[in-house]
A and B are shown apart, each in its own frame.
Chain A
Amino acid sequence: MGGREVNIPAAATARSGADSITLGLKGITKRFPGVLANDHIDLTVEPGEIHVLLGENGAGKTTLMNILYGLYQPDEGEILVNGVPVKFHSPSDAIRAGIGMVHQHFMLIPVFTVAENVMLGSELTRSFGFLDHRRARLEVQRLGQEFGLAVNPDTLVESLSVGAQQRVEIVKALYRQASVLILDEPTAVLTPSETEELLTVMQSLKRAGRSIVFITHKLRDAMQVADRITVLRGGRVVGATVPANSSEGELATMMVGHAIRLRVERPAAKPGAVVLSVAGLTAHDDRGQIAVDDVSFDVRAGEIVTIAGVQGNGQTELVRALMGLEPVVAGRIVVGGHDLTSASPRQTLDAGVGHVPEDRIKDGLIADFSIAENLALDVYYLPPYASGPILNPTEMVHNAEVRIPEFDIRTPSALTSVGTLSGGNQQRVVVAREFSRPVSLMIAAQPTRGLDVGSIEYIHERIVQLRDRGAAVLIVSSDLDEVLGMGDRIAVMFRGRMEGPFESEQLTRDEIGLMMAGATTGRNATSGGQPGGNL
């Protein structure tokens, strides 16, 4: 079908279509059954400013932005564009008014090229309705150059990294001449270097007169780029400030409602005997390439070893190999004296290993099962949950009734299906399950990814408690704060090879960053790879 012609001026440089606008939200109120999502919210976004919207999951940020984008209608209040009240009945209205949104979960077609994705829905056509790929490509390239968003218009989206896909989403919005760009939790899926690149892009957009509404719960990013910060809690605006007048601690307090520790108190580790011993481990990825390359390290009881690294450098495969989910090509894995190199997942779990998987939806939980069933997912066949072949569902419910308050899982009942819980609560279910079993080794992959500040603090506390009770803990994380904050010893993975583990006092944040990018630091001569990590 032929698309609408997008209003592209002949002069490809000057863009008259996207003017700077002032956006205002006055008294916006939105009710859903049982919940007041937005409570008389006032917000203004000035032209050329980066306005950060801070808040925990459930604070009402996404609802507010969905109203702004025309996906919902407010029950009360109005939206003002340049002082004039407007009504958005659908995203098309919002887009026409100059509002563009980049959602947390991308809306891209993996098998289309970048150019095709960008023009999807606003296709450029030649005579007779043929798609004008050439102009679309030129447009994508031009936008990329103007705002520092380098993307190759001909690449298939499925072969792009997460950071690159996000750039495509931003180009999509700019292509539709967005004056105000709403970015919903953009840094949640990015690595540290990709985050830096995004923040740079945001600055260049700002210089071009566009405004950005940056929704996040990451305090560091907020303090770094914000011109103004508005904090939401429980659907209401609880604070509006500028970075110069505030601090991460103050923002966190506003977000959560009470003082919160940003760094978990971690008493010095008292390491004991070696629990996990990995020697010369080699494993493949799902394309048959070497993903873990001759990795050796130990984890002792009573210590936390964190593995830093940009995602995609073998950490995922390492954890899966340790848990028996991937075959080991070479090397040995020994846990508490037992050789688990070719153990099945069940054998590994039975040997006292706990696993908090990287992808909680895919590997950690069964969305259709209840919380009670998920809490018993690795132990359902053992008494008291089973007597021989017969299952005992009431025991599962009893167990859940203990764990739910213990781990502060917010849910109406133990029988609610886990798929309806928020990300933070889902992770608490996984943590409740793994931390309630007797484990001598806990392997946690990206344990706090995508979680709110309260859940992050809670999970970090539990991990430290576990360590102090004598367990060995291995954390894989691409969040540098977590790596530094939790690691008694820190290792870095790059292209399947591991540097370290080093004592955490010996490493600086910059050194870790360099190792994550593959640069040699003179500390370890093994992986002399090319600098510049991810593709």
Chain B
Amino acid sequence: MILQSVVAPQSTTWNSILVVLLAFVTALVVSAGFVIASDPTVFAAPDPLSALGNAGAAVVNAYGALLAGAIGNPSSIPAAFSSGTPSGIALAFYPLSETLVAACPLVFTGLAVALGFRAGLFNIGGEGQVIAGGLAAGYVGFSVHGLPGIVELPLALVAGFVGGGLWGFVPGLLKARTGAHEVISTIMLNYVAIYLTYYFLNTALFQRPGRTDPISRVVDTGAMLPSLAGVNLRVHAGVFLAVLAAVAVYFLLWRTVFGFEFRAVGSNPAAARAAGINVGRVVVLAMTLAGGLAGLAGATLILGVQFSLTPGFSSGLGFDGITVALLGRGNPAGVVAAALLFGGLRAGSIQMQASTSTPVDLVQVIEALVILFVAAPAVIRAIYRLRTAPVSVTPTVSPGWGS
């Protein structure tokens, strides 16, 4: 049900963008309620008026810190430039850099899920695919020596794509050959990947010499993604790769023969088959490509930010990808926008916790509420009395679990 309503919205583009924006606003409003409820000054206030005042202040402070942590303080930028020191300038752009760093892997995993959606597949295996990609890229990164950087980095990235691709290929093949539902097989493979990480990180092949805890060797400098803004800011070239990937996915879906087949199968596999499209091949290809994209998330994470492997390095990226894809309506441009939004929320939450003691988990609440409202657009439409979307004559029915 969600698949059809998100990927093929029966409304105009503006209508659905409006719904998403309003969903975000509504989520912020509801979360503000939580901020107020957890602020002790509100309840300690002597009278209702000052309680309201405290409540308002609490919300403004929390969201203000969130915003500052996400994109920084516009007034501080000219001041930073006039200070002249690189570290001063860096400080002003630190929030933006953090937002981009957080958004980069989300773009990849969001695209991975969105591509799957377009072909009618529910790719829940983002987590495992990220891990597989990260493991492969990391391994190439720290075990291949002597090659010039211009070869070593792309090699490591390709390894990441292949690793993730393999983690997508297997469920794709299972679905095409046996009808095994990809939700089940991808979730299972997530676990396999998680535990494989532990396993590998305890082998001599991966483990950093001199350490007994599960941490890998450090990646070669030649395989590291170049930093974009100097030592003090973490933003790295992977960000460009993410944008490139979004463009590539758009191009694939709407300008290539494969993309036509993907969309046909995703929309109506029976008609696609009757028209001669090889549905099984499309499924395998779609899952492999989606896995590869998620693998790149892992690769850019390891090669651009973490530089070595530790357990749990994927930290829920795969599942966040689902949220990002849903918010982005399965559209590459939407995915980038949603990834930036969530990246900003993540980056900002650190600042928010530091300045106002509001726990970072509030951002999870906001994200969850946004998804809730986006998944039920009728609620938003009812609240804001938006025009209901025009409905096509044939009801779209999702095939559901059984197919």
Contacts and interface: CB of A to CB of B under 8 A. Distances in A.
Interface string B242-286: 000000000000111111100110011011111111100000000
B394 interface: yes
Most buried by A among B255, B276, B392, B396: B276
B231 interface: no
A323 B256 CA distance: 26
Interface string A341-360: 00011101110000101000
Contacts of A368: 8, 267-268, 396
B274 A366 contact: no
B88 to A, nearest CB: 49
A380 B254 CA distance: 12
A381 B274 CA distance: 15
B133 to A, nearest CB: 25
B273 A325 contact: yes
Given A366-B267, A419-B394, A357 B260 contact: no
B393 interface: yes
B272 to A, nearest CB: 7
A362 B254 contact: no
Interface stretch (A284-292, A388-396, A403-411): A388-396
Contacts of B264: 366, 369, 377
Interface string B371-403: 000000000000000000000111010000000
A346 B278 CA distance: 8
A514 to B, nearest CB: 33
Contact of B268 (A350, A355, A362, A378): A362
B46 to A, nearest CB: 49
A420 B268 contact: no
B278 A344 contact: yes
Majority SS at the chain B contact face: helix
Contacts of B256: 389-391
A364 interface: yes
A417 B392 contact: yes
Contacts, number: 80
A8 interface: no
Interface string A414-431: 000101111000000000
Contacts of B278: 344, 346
A389 B258 contact: yes
A309 to B, nearest CB: 21
B276 A363 contact: no
Contact of A363 (B255, B259, B263, B274): B274
Most buried by B among A346, A362, A367, A386: A367
A345 B394 contact: no
A170 to B, nearest CB: 24
Interface string A325-344: 10000000000000000001
A369 B393 contact: no
A206 B300 CA distance: 76
A361 interface: yes
Contacts of B267: 366-369
Contacts of A420: 392-393
B330 to A, nearest CB: 12
B272 A366 contact: yes
Contacts of B273: 325, 345
A205 to B, nearest CB: 31
A378 B260 contact: no
B276 A390 contact: no
B396 A367 contact: yes
Contact of B257 (A350, A357, A391, A421): A391
Interface string A249-287: 000000000000000000000000000000000000000
Contact of B275 (A345, A367, A417, A421): A345
A498 interface: no
A391 B274 CA distance: 20
A365 interface: yes
B79 to A, nearest CB: 50
B263 A361 contact: no
A429 to B, nearest CB: 12
Contact of A362 (B255, B263, B271, B393): B271
Most buried by A among B263, B271, B273, B393: B271
Contacts of A422: 393
Contacts of B276: 344-346, 348-350, 378
A493 B53 CA distance: 82
Interface string B178-195: 000000000000000000
Interface string B291-306: 0000000000000000
A378 B257 contact: no
A535 B37 CA distance: 65
Contact of A386 (B257, B263, B394): B257
Contacts of A377: 264, 271, 275
A361 B275 contact: no
Contact of A361 (B254, B259, B260, B394): B394
Contacts of A373: 260
Nearest to A348: B276
Given A362-B271, A365-B271, A390 B257 contact: yes
Contact of A357 (B274, B394, B396): B274
Contacts of B271: 362-366, 377
Contacts of A363: 270-271, 274
A240 B270 CA distance: 44
B101 to A, nearest CB: 34
Given A389-B257, A391-B255, A367 B394 contact: yes
A525 to B, nearest CB: 36
Going nearest first, the 8 A-B pairs with the smallest beta carbon separation are A346-B276, A419-B392, A377-B275, A363-B274, A366-B268, A419-B394, A368-B8, A368-B267
11 contacts: A345-B273, A346-B278, A362-B271, A366-B267, A366-B271, A367-B394, A368-B396, A369-B263, A373-B260, A393-B255, A419-B396
Given A391-B257, A420-B393, 16 more contacts: A325-B274, A346-B276, A361-B394, A363-B271, A366-B264, A366-B267, A366-B272, A367-B394, A377-B275, A378-B276, A381-B257, A389-B257, A389-B258, A393-B255, A417-B392, A419-B396
Interface of B: 8, 254-260, 263-264, 267-268, 270-278, 392-394, 396
